[in-house]
Chains A and B, each alone.
Chain A
Amino acid sequence: MKLILALATLCAGLTLMSLFVGSGNVALRETIWAYFGAGDPLVVLVMQELRLPRAALALLIGAALGFAGAAMQGFLRNPLADPGIVGTSAFAALGAVIALQTGIVALFPMALPLMALGGALISVLALLALAGRGARTTTLILSGVALSSAAAALVSLVLNLSPNPFAANEITFWMMGSLADRSFRHVSVALPILLLGAMLIWRSRKGLDALSFGEETALSMGVNVRRLRLQLILGTACLSGAATAVAGMIGFVGLVIPHLLRRVTGGMPSRLLLPAALGSGALILAADIAVRIILPGRDLKLGVLTALLGTPVFLHMVWKSRGRDT
């Protein structure tokens, strides 16, 4: 509980800070008033329609990735499972890119997160078929590498086929993720799917705990494993799908934060979920503040920072898991 409170305070602090960082040079007082709708209408516009949705998205997407990572690790019983590493985010990006380039989104905005969700779902099912539940780390990672590269190649193909000359330059956005110049349109499109995913996972948290003792034990404890599995698959697909649809692929968040927090919360997946969500939200908020300070106005991709932070932790985990497999 203490941990959750501390992390929530951190999130609140960073959200507040995020609201005061930007390329526009506005005095602190004026900025504060603008959030209450007072003062220069243009400053109000910048604060309420540019910075507010950006901070909100950073928090939401971070939380979604942390939640999805923690759930996936519990479900696959492998600490290296993460939507970015097993290819779920890449497939979500593929779904989103297809939705945007075919023009469906222009007619029906919710098609963006829904098609991303569809892509994510396909990847989780493919992963289960390839690696199976409780898979050995090598199999899991190799399947993830294969799925990720296939999806990344298809994303590039779709963008290169686009009649729009700018689309092909946006491969980096989809591969690295960014929150620059997003609007409340993106928040409203992602939010319902994110909430649905979070609810599905939250409701299966007890089953997730039972599952950590093995499938047989869970069955003997009276858990409907089939239903549980379906809920978890759909839940993680919703979270990583909707997050990727509006912000691109932001890797390693769902891996690093649960890994760091597991030392405090212990092995029970249900106790990890909330701290992981809050911690990841804080990480994305901090990263999004950092990209705006390091290169103001230049849209440094978020995934660049998270990958730089995440790779050492990931390598450390791979190092530790050596020998456990064979």
Chain B
Amino acid sequence: MRLRAVLLAGLWLAGAASGAAADPAQRVVSMNLCTDQLAMLLAAPGQLISVSYLARDARSSAMAEVAQNFDINHGLAEEIAFLRPDLVLAGRYTTRVTVDMLQRLGYRVEVFQPENTLDDIRTNLLQMGRALGREAEAERMAEEMQQTLLSLREAADDKPGPETAVYYSSGYTAGARSLGHDIVTTAGLQNIAPKLGLGASGILPLEALILSDADMVIRGASYQGYSRSEEMLRHPALERMLAAPRLTAETRPEWTCGTPLTLSAIHDLRAAAGLEPLE
């Protein structure tokens, strides 16, 4: 009796799962800045109904303009539930409690890993394609990206570019195994963080940054309003170190989330470093 119930339940679940795969979600809600952008790139018209409020913030989001066309949410479970989504997109580090709550309420939540390398972008793009039932579009976009990436990497291997330090607010830097590091090296620059023994993300003290004698320093873009973390980026000692001929650049929203748009940030970085543009 009991066995039969279990079997039946199993059958029903299998049926439900295959049903979900058969017709793609119609009301998709994204609650993470990075899934927002992948979803906006891939979703069919009308399929995506809400993105996170950060997607409209031009300082964090590379698609702030596009995000104006969507409703926004603040990632609160109650708010998401009222949107009656049939698919919720979340990041690995989206508030755990909220994701658990939504799953308990029976919503289908697709969780994405953060992009720590440029290759992760491809993985997430294809995962998003499957989740939205837009595999063909995702495949095409990934292929296009791969071509550009190959030519960028080829050019980067040509000759070693200037030694570069990335300096985010509070003195964080892009260590090896971070998207920032991959962006810098693919642009043909040498990241000094691994040389200084800094891992995925480490703190680069201002003293060490100045003494590193880097040829180029890429500083984090500043937000509106004051913060001490960002005041460090404008420390008089750093400003004096960066006086010409040292090269400077700023990070862009494309650095925050890995998307196909990140590649355009790499092209711009090459230009800022004075490397010749690619075809």
Binding site for B on A (CB under 8 A): 22-26, 42-43, 45-46, 49-51, 100-101, 103, 105-106, 162-167, 169-170, 173, 181, 183-185, 296-298
Q: Which stretch in B93-101, B102-110, B131-139, B221-229 binds the other chain?
A: B221-229
A298 to B170, CA, bound (A): 10
Contact between A297 and B227, CB atoms less than 8 A apart: no
Give the chain B neighbours of A24 by CB distance below 8 A: 205, 207-208, 210-211
Contact A166–B223 (Cβ < 8 Å)? yes
With contacts A22-B207, A181-B235, A184-B236 known, is A164 near B223, CB below 8 A? yes
Question: CB < 8 Å: which of A23, A105, A185 contacts B236?
Answer: A185
Give Cα A127 to B263, complex, Å.
60
Beta-carbon contact of B170 and A50 below 8 Å? no
B interface residues (Cβ-Cβ under 8 A, vs A)? 169-171, 203-208, 210-211, 213, 223-230, 232, 235-237, 240-241
A contact residues around B211 at 8 Å (CB)? 24-26, 42-43, 46
CA distance A42 to B235 in the complex (A): 14
Q: Looking at the complex, which one of B169, B208, B224 makes contact with A23 (CB distance below 8 Å)?
A: B208
26 contacts between A and B (CB under 8 A): A24-B205, A24-B208, A26-B211, A42-B211, A45-B210, A45-B240, A46-B207, A46-B237, A50-B235, A51-B207, A100-B226, A101-B225, A101-B226, A162-B225, A162-B226, A164-B223, A164-B226, A164-B227, A166-B227, A166-B228, A167-B226, A170-B227, A170-B229, A181-B235, A183-B236, A185-B236
Chain A residue at minimum C-beta to C-beta distance from B206: A181
Known pairs A23-B205, A24-B207 / 11 extra A-B pairs, C-beta < 8 Å = A24-B211, A45-B241, A50-B237, A100-B226, A162-B225, A163-B224, A164-B223, A170-B227, A181-B232, A183-B235, A297-B203
Q: Let me know if B228 and A170 touch, CB within 8 A.
A: yes
**Residues of A with C-beta under 8 A to B229:** 166, 169-170
Across the interface, B227 reaches (CB within 8 A) one of A45, A167, A181, namely: A167
Residues of B within 8 A of A106 (CB): 226
Given contacts A42-B241, A45-B240, contact A50 B226 (CB under 8 A): no
**Across-interface contacts of B235 in A (CB, < 8 A):** 49-50, 181, 183
Q: Which 4 A-B pairs have the closest CB atoms?
A: A49-B237, A164-B225, A166-B227, A24-B207
CB contacts (< 8 Å) of B206 on chain A: these are: 50, 181
Q: How far is the CA of A173 from the CA of B228 in the complex (A)?
A: 9
State which of A42, A163, A297 has its C-beta within 8 Å of the C-beta of B225.
Answer: A163
> Chain A CB within 10 Å — which of B204, B205, B223 has the most?
B205
Chain A residues, Cβ within 8 Å of B210: 24, 42, 45-46, 50
Report the bound CA distance from A167 to B225 in whole Å: 8
Q: Which residues of B contact A26 (CB under 8 A)?
A: 211
CA distance A101 to B230 in the complex (A): 13
Q: Which of B170, B204, B240 contacts A49 (CB 8 A)?
A: B240
- Report how far A249 CA is from B75 CA in the complex, Å: 35
Instruction: State in angstroms the CA–CA spacing of A185 and B223 once bound together.
Output: 22
In the assembled complex, the Cα of A100 lies from the Cα of B226 at a distance in Å of 6
CB pair B203–A298 under 8 Å, yes or no, is yes
Instruction: Indicate if the CB atoms of A297 and B237 lie closer than 8 Å.
Output: no
> B237: which A residues are within 8 A, CB to CB?
45-46, 49-50, 183
B-side contacts of A25, CB under 8 Å: 211
